[in-house]
Structure 1
Amino acid sequence: MSTQKTLVLTRPDESSAQFLAQVEARLGDKVCAVLSPVLRIVPTTGWPDLSAFDVVIATSVHAIQGSLEGKPVFCVGERTAEAAAKAGGEVRHCALDAAALITWIRSQPNPGRTVYLRGSHVATDIPAALRALSIESSAIHTYRQEELPLTEAASTALEGEGSTILPLFSPRSARLIGRAIVQPGQRLQVIAISDAVADAWQDVTGGSCDVINQPTGDAMVGRIVAALRH
């Protein structure tokens, strides 16, 4: 074992497993990891008819639960873009985050009728932002995020005396984890994907976070590997 640090991953099962594999591949060694999803992804019943829309918007791979055949798609994140292309969509743009996507759309000709495929909880109301730009936009829920409790192993790692690394990928997960623990351990290193995520963690726990330079999975992997090696 190259490190005595524990990595706690709280994303949904498949996402955590894939992320751990990326970290171990970059590190070149196995990692002491605790997987404790705080959210479970549940697709909604029935895939919507998208024929009335000119452009589809997706900010999460979980939103794409059916065919996007022939539809132009604006995405956030490379994994979302890959899923959209696999579902038959024509990816026209891939932004780092929702704010960057809205800024890019503002600089383009009016795309027509847009639909945002989203979960039951989102950090940014994209349709409202687009309607403010006189772009016709609506949202369809294609999945929901159900809360799950932390496992005992995760709580022990996050609250304990050992050296632990906790990556945070959304304000909601930051709040859920912060409320689930008594208090962060003194050797807990929290790494947030954005300032909004760091703010949510601080609001709940009073603790600080490292914030990565770019809101991407690759940047998070690099930051965690650096922390494991330090």
Structure 2
Amino acid sequence: MPDNRPTVLLTRPQAQAERFAQALGDIPVVISPLMRIEQQPLDVELTGYRGLVFTSENGVWACPQCALPAFCVGDRTAQAAKDAGMRAVSAKGSADDLVRIIADRAVEGPLLHIRGEHTRGDVAGKLRALGLRVDEVVGYRQVARPLSEQARKLLGGESIVILPLFSPRTARLFVADVGRIGARVRVVAISEAVKEALSGSVFDDITVSTTPDAKGMIAAIQGRIDA
């Protein structure tokens, strides 16, 4: 019998998309990354810093192995930091949650935020506004990629497509590149900021995850499949 279930279109970078697809189980998935991660050589000496700040595991992978404290936006990033020998703490949430745990713990700087070329949340800026010394360095680039022909065919059809979006930039890239749409697209946004990035587009069937993490996104996706 044909599989008439909705298909999930994953636009995350390849490694993260493959991992997320595994977590979804037997739900039909098409992977079409809208960004490619390119690690950048770090032109920085870690000596003198009292902690590192990470808003993505990509930042961890760009960092030399060390035993510094690492303040991480979520559990996945924290686990990557632990695997690299760091003493990691997870904010279990958003960029604002990360700023909050650093402030609540009265962390002393200087700190170093290893981030992507495109970033959101202005973590370093908000920490500096609280009086902390925080430097920033770009550890990776997020290079835009077009949708694959498989993704375009899926979106041009007449089936139901669940579209999880994990960042405002990905949402904007998708809107700019999508072209003709025949499918019924149900968007699952990881945050209100992602939903806002879709403002003015044709996409108005949007569910925002109750928590800004993989667990919340999977639950929201399942809810849209069962709707």
> Which residue is equivalent to 2:77?
80
Q: Which moved more, 1:145-154 or 1:98-107?
A: 98-107
Gaps of 5+ in 2: none
Whole-Å separation in 2 of the counterparts to 1:159 and 1:195: 27
Q: Distance in 2 between matches of 1:160 and 1:41?
A: 29
Match of 2:36 among 33, 40, 43: 40
Partner of 1:20: 21
Of the three residues 139, 164, 169, the one matched with 2:161 is 164
| Contact 1:192/1:212 (8 A) holds in 2 | yes
Deviations 1:186-212 (A, max 9, x none): 621000000000110224445341101
SS at match of 2:198: helix
The farther-off stretch of 106-115 and 54-63 is 106-115
CA positional deviation for 1:182: 2.9
Describe the shift of the 1:16–1:133 C-alpha distance in structure 2 as closer, same or farther (beyond 3 A): same
CA distance in 2, matches of 1:150, 1:159: 12
Where do 5+ consecutive residues of structure 1 fail to align? Answer: 25-29
Measured at CA, do residues 183 and 212 of structure 1 come closer, stay the same or move farther in structure 2, by a change above 3 Å? farther
Match of 1:163, as an amino acid? I
Number of aligned residue pairs: 225
1:101 and 1:2 map into 2 onto residues whose CA distance is 41
Shift of 1:5: 1.1
Corresponding residue to 1:111 among 87, 101, 108: 108
| 1:169/1:197 contact within 8 Å kept | yes
1:4 deviates by 2.3
Is residue 2:149 matched to residue 1:148?
no
d(CA) in 2 for partners of 1:2 and 1:77? 34
Contact 2:59–2:139, Cα closer than 8 Å, also in 1: yes
CA separation of 1:190 and 1:125: change in aligned 2, threshold 3 A: same
Q: Which moved more, 1:200-209 or 1:133-142?
A: 200-209
Q: Secondary structure of 1:188's partner?
A: strand
Q: Deviations over 1:29-74 (max 9, x none)?
A: x232211000000000247421221110001011112334210011
Contact kept in structure 2, 1:202 and 1:208, CA below 8 Å: no
Q: Does 1:223 align with 2:220?
A: yes
Distance in 2, matches of 1:217 and 1:147, equals 22
Q: Which moved more, 1:136-145 or 1:206-215?
A: 206-215
Whether 1:51 aligns to 2:47 is yes
Please report the TM-score for the alignment, with normalisation by the length of structure 1: 0.90
CA distance in 2, matches of 1:91, 1:47: 23
Q: 1:4 is matched with which residue? A: 5
**Alignment RMSD:** 1.9
Deviations 1:70-113 (A, max 9, x none): 10011011110000000111013433010111122232324210
Q: Is 1:128 paired with 2:125?
A: yes
TM-score of the pair, normalised by structure 2: 0.91
Letter in 2 for 1:211: V
Kindly, what percent of the aligned residue pairs are identical? 32
Question: Is the 8 Å Cα contact of residues 189 and 209 (structure 1) preserved in structure 2?
Answer: yes
